[in-house]
Amino acid sequence: MQNMSGIRDTDGRHIIRAIAASRSDLLKRVERWTCGRKIKLCKGLSSKVIIASEAILAHGLTQDEIDRWMEAYKRKDFEALKIGYSRKRRAA
């Protein structure tokens, strides 16, 4: 049975469902890093299901990317995990 937990996004109107992913799910290669996938990865890293170096090797991510995602995840800034957020921030 998989563990379900709800996480409120920053504006408090929607609940993001994050399923506690298995190790193999977290290491499976993905085409595009959506907000939900980033949250799953951060949740897996926080709960020590995998470590950052495994994610770096499996997905070709940089430590800087993982650090930024984890910072946003820890402060519950899920808007920052959305695709294109850095472009929006630079334009403002």
Q: How many CB atoms are located within 10 Å of the residue 33 CB?
A: 15
Q: Which of 64, 56, 55, 50 is nearest to 20 (CA)?
A: 50
pTM of the predicted structure, to 2 decimals: 0.70
Cα within 13 Å of Cα(9), Cβ side: 14
CATH number, domain containing residue 55: 1.10.10
For 82, counting Cβ atoms within 10 Å of its Cβ (0-12 exposed, 13-18 middle, 19+ buried), the class is: middle
Expressed as residue numbers, the domain containing 70 is 4-91
Mean pLDDT by 10 residues, the chain (92 residues): 48 49 89 92 94 95 95 92 67 55
Q: How far apart (Å, rounded) are the C-alpha atoms in residues 51 and 46?
A: 9
- Structural domain tally of the chain? 1
| pLDDT for the residue 83 | 74
